[in-house]
């Protein structure tokens, strides 16, 4: 996914902070929190959240709160489900679970909570 195309399609200015955030999010295979990437960032916390908020407003980034009370972010490439373990708080993207279609609703994300395979053993 080309960062320039994402920004251009949403008609927002491409800044170095926005480029950096999109590059980090595009390489991740699962949702991430600020704490997960703060050591990689060259921006302060306020800049991170200001830009993430803009990305959410423009439907570039999807977010949700996990059991650990942290907010997790990922590029909003396609609707899919997530599984959050109630024991270890691990988050997994579920690729083989299709979001349900509800008449009149647009499903962006589904979250399942329970006990993951590792903790269940």
Q: What pLDDT, on the 0 to 100 scale, is given for residue 105?
A: 86
CB atoms within 10 A of CB 60: 22
CA distance 69 to 61: 19
Which carries the bigger pLDDT value, residue 75 or residue 97?
Answer: 75
Q: What pLDDT, on the 0 to 100 scale, is given for residue 66?
A: 92
Binning the chain into helix, strand and coil, the percentages to the nearest 5 are 35, 20, 40
- Whether residue 106 sits in one domain with residue 56: no
43 lies in which domain range?
A: 3-75
- Whether residue 33 sits in one domain with residue 18: yes
Q: What pLDDT, on the 0 to 100 scale, is given for residue 80?
A: 83
Overall domain count for the chain: 2
- Whether residue 102 sits in one domain with residue 65: no
Q: Look up the CATH number of the domain holding residue 45.
A: 1.10.10.10
Q: How confident is the model at residue 102 (pLDDT cuts 50, 70, 90)?
A: confident
- Dihedral of CA 46/64/76/113: which sign? positive
- Whether residue 71 sits in one domain with residue 85: no
Tokens of 87: 């024991």
- Whether residue 90 sits in one domain with residue 104: yes
Mean pLDDT of the chain: 90
């Amino acid at each position: 996914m080309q960062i320039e195309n994402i920004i251009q399609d949403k008609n927002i200015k491409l800044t170095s902070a926005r480029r950096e955030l999109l590059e980090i999010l595009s390489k991740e295979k699962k949702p991430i929190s600020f704490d997960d990437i703060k050591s990689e960032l060259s921006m302060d916390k306020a800049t991170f959240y200001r830009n993430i908020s803009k990305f959410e407003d423009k439907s570039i980034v999807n977010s949700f709160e996990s059991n650990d009370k942290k907010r997790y972010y990922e590029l909003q490439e396609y609707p899919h489900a997530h599984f959050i373990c109630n024991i270890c708080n691990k988050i997994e993207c579920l690729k083989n679970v299709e979001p349900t279609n509800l008449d009149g609703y647009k499903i962006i994300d589904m979250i399942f909570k329970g006990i993951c395979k590792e903790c269940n053993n």
